[in-house]
Amino acid sequence: MKRLPRLHSIQGSLLLHELSFVFLILITTSVAVVWAFAWQKSSEESLRLTAMNSHVQSIRGELYRQLKEVFDAAFLDDQHARDEYNFYSRRINDGLADLRVLSEPGNETAAISQIEAAYNEYRQQTRELLRSVSLSEEQKNLLDYQLEQHTFAELEHAFSSFDRLLKDKQTTLAENRQRWMSQLMLLVPLPLLLAVTLLLLSRRFVKNNLVRPLATVMDGARLISKGKLDHQIASQGVDDLVRLADAINVMAEELASNRDKLVEARKQAAMGELVPLVAHNIRNPLSGIRAAAQVTLDEQADPEVRDVLRDIIIAVDRLERWVTSLLTYLHPNKPHFTGETLQQVADNAISLIQLQLADKNMQIEKSGWERNASLIALDTNLMEQTVFNLAQNAIEASPTGATIQLNYSENKTQVELSIQDQGKGMRYDPVAEQVTDGEAKRLGCGLGIPFAVKVIKQHDGELIYDTEPGRSTCVIIRLPKTQFEPQE
């Protein structure tokens, strides 16, 4: 047997709505049936009392006509009076039998019995008079006195008692009918009030559990369709809408995840096409620069010039390693970790931008370098490029004569390096992992930040941008304090 649907669902809500109006119909029908039954009983009782009253009046009329036949027989010596007497006797007995049928146990049967007793006494006396061939004066006086003053008076008393009983019952019936009419006037508005109440409750239930939640789901779906995949639709309303909202939220999360993967894939594709070309165009000049510096170093005797040439060769070799690491980054190979401090990585990266600092009359202010930094597992070449790119962004964003602040800190579980510029701030999209500020985009191809994000993710760290338009930007590199374990 199929189970009934839960009431806290669309199907259950419709069922509840239908049942409420079925309940209203049942109440209205019940009131109508009860009233019809009561009215029918009242009408039947009224007809019964009317019929009984009609029978009583008919019996009384027959009784008077029968009494007339007794007088006709006694005083006028009417030969047909006895036959007429018997005819009226049968009609009176039939009328009494009909009263018996219509009567109810109790007062009515007692009143009819009283009429029958008085009538039997009347018949007994009148029959004795009818048997006599001729009446004496004494019998005639007895007929006049006994019948009229006593026996017939008893009959009239019995009829009067029965009349009063019928009138009392008719009065009670009229009062009951009037009371029913008064109650009906009170019951008539009840179905209307119930209908209005059910309509209001049903409308409120549908509005709170169907209309509003459905509108919320539609608005949320519209926002998600416009690209706001971080929007969460509130789970409210009936179970069906709650499940729908949860399903849309899960879909939005999956779309956001897939979008991130697609953005990452596009970045990889762009870098895969661009970096080899750039690397080829860089390596050739670097090779010439190194060869020229090496030849000049071999021929130069001035110690100061020889030191400068050695610095050039070291910088060229470092740039060569960076290009190699950048090419390696485009392939699924794992980073090559070594034990190094984040301070040393930052120093190596900053050493390559001294000329840019001098050109803009800028300085690097370091804090936290006075402490001994912990050795952690790093791909030195990739991380140096990361710090270099972020520091170069800070230089480009800051005005001439500004100071770039580098702050190093660590605790038991992680190390942090922050780079604070003095620029006007930038807009950063954490989903696309890109700077969206048009002024900042002039720094170059725009791959520095995605490169930094990926490198830091490969180190199980995170890149944090604390920035708002109109004030400086602070970029934080946060890495886990993972100890380097050399592989055998």
- Residue 99 resides in a domain: yes
Mean pLDDT highest for which of 61-65, 192-196, 284-288?
Answer: 61-65
pLDDT at 351: 84
pLDDT at 417: 93
Q: Which of 187, 208, 226 is the last residue of a domain?
A: 187
Average pLDDT, the chain: 77
Q: Do the Cβ atoms of 232 and 249 come closer than 8 Å? A: yes
Q: Do the Cβ atoms of 465 and 423 come closer than 8 Å? A: no
CATH number of the domain encompassing residue 436: 3.30.565.10
- Residue 15 resides in a domain: yes
CA distance 127 to 124: 5
Q: Do the Cβ atoms of 461 and 380 come closer than 8 Å? A: no
- Residue 41 resides in a domain: yes
pLDDT at 324: 66
Q: What is the DSSP letter of 468?
A: -
pLDDT at 445: 38
Closest to 477 in 3D by CA, of 421, 398, 414, 397: 414
SS3 for 475? strand
- Residue 19 resides in a domain: yes
CA distance 248 to 251: 5
- Residue 302 resides in a domain: no
- 350 Cβ contact list (under 8 Å, min separation 6): 364, 387, 391, 406
pLDDT at 476: 92
What is the arithmetic mean of pLDDT over 6-33?
Answer: 71
CA distance 279 to 267: 17
Return the half-sphere exposure (C-beta side, CA atoms, 13 A cut-off) of residue 201: 12
Encode pLDDT of 148-158 as tens digits.
666 677 888 88
What is the arithmetic mean of pLDDT over 209-224?
Answer: 82
DSSP 88-145: HHHHHHHHHHHHHHH--TTHHHHHHHHHHHHHHHHHHHHHHHHH-SS--HHHHHHIII
Q: Is the predicted pLDDT of residue 126 greater than 50, yes or no?
A: yes
Structural domain of 405: 337-488
Give the total number of structural domains in the chain: 2
Rg (CA), the chain: 59
- Residue 100 resides in a domain: yes
Q: Which of 187, 208, 230 is the last residue of a domain?
A: 187
pLDDT at 196: 77
pLDDT at 139: 58
What is the arithmetic mean of pLDDT over 113-118?
Answer: 86
Q: Is the predicted pLDDT of residue 118 greater than 80, yes or no?
A: yes
- 335 Cβ contact list (under 8 Å, min separation 6): 379, 382, 455, 458, 459
CA distance 179 to 171: 12
What is the arithmetic mean of pLDDT over 318-341?
Answer: 70
Q: Residue 154 forms beta bridges with which residues?
A: none
- Residue 271 resides in a domain: no
Kindly report which listed range (51-55, 70-74, 206-210) carries the lowest average pLDDT score. Answer: 70-74
pLDDT at 444: 38
pLDDT at 125: 76
What is the arithmetic mean of pLDDT over 379-393?
Answer: 86
pLDDT at 287: 61
Q: Is the predicted pLDDT of residue 406 greater than 90, yes or no?
A: yes
CA distance 243 to 414: 41
Mean pLDDT highest for which of 65-69, 163-167, 315-319, 333-337?
Answer: 163-167
What is the arithmetic mean of pLDDT over 91-117?
Answer: 87
Encode pLDDT of 225-278 as tens digits.
887 877 888 888 777 778 888 888 888 888 877 776 777 667 666 666 566 656
Kindly report which listed range (8-12, 142-146, 199-203, 444-448) carries the lowest average pLDDT score. Answer: 444-448
Tell me, rounded to whole angstroms, the distance of Cα 60 from its chain centroid: 79
HEC secondary structure over 399-441: CCCCEEEEEEEECCCEEEEEEECCCCCCCEECCCCEECCHHHH
Encode pLDDT of 341-358 as tens digits.
998 999 988 888 887 788
Distances (CA, A) of 344 to 323, 374, 476: 20, 11, 17
> The tokens 């020889």 sit on which residue?
306
Q: Residue 366 forms beta bridges with which residues?
A: 406
pLDDT at 5: 46
- 112 Cβ contact list (under 8 Å, min separation 6): 96, 99, 100, 103, 162
Encode pLDDT of 408-451 as tens digits.
999 989 999 999 988 877 655 544 445 555 444 433 334 567 77
Q: Is the predicted pLDDT of residue 95 greater than 50, yes or no?
A: yes
Q: What do you get for the CA distance between the two ends of the chain, in Å?
A: 69
pLDDT at 4: 44
Q: Which of 171, 187, 203 is the last residue of a domain?
A: 187
In the structure encoding, which two tokens stand for residue 169, read together? 């019952």
Return the half-sphere exposure (C-beta side, CA atoms, 13 A cut-off) of residue 314: 10
| pLDDT band per the 50, 70, 90 thresholds, residue 178 | confident
**pTM to 2 decimal places:** 0.40
CA distance 19 to 89: 65
Q: Is the predicted pLDDT of residue 486 greater than 70, yes or no?
A: no
Above pLDDT 90, what percent of the chain?
5
pLDDT at 326: 64
CA distance 340 to 18: 75
In the structure encoding, which two tokens stand for residue 162, read together? 């029965």
pLDDT at 443: 35
pLDDT at 265: 66
Q: Do the Cβ atoms of 231 and 208 come closer than 8 Å? A: no
- Residue 431 resides in a domain: yes
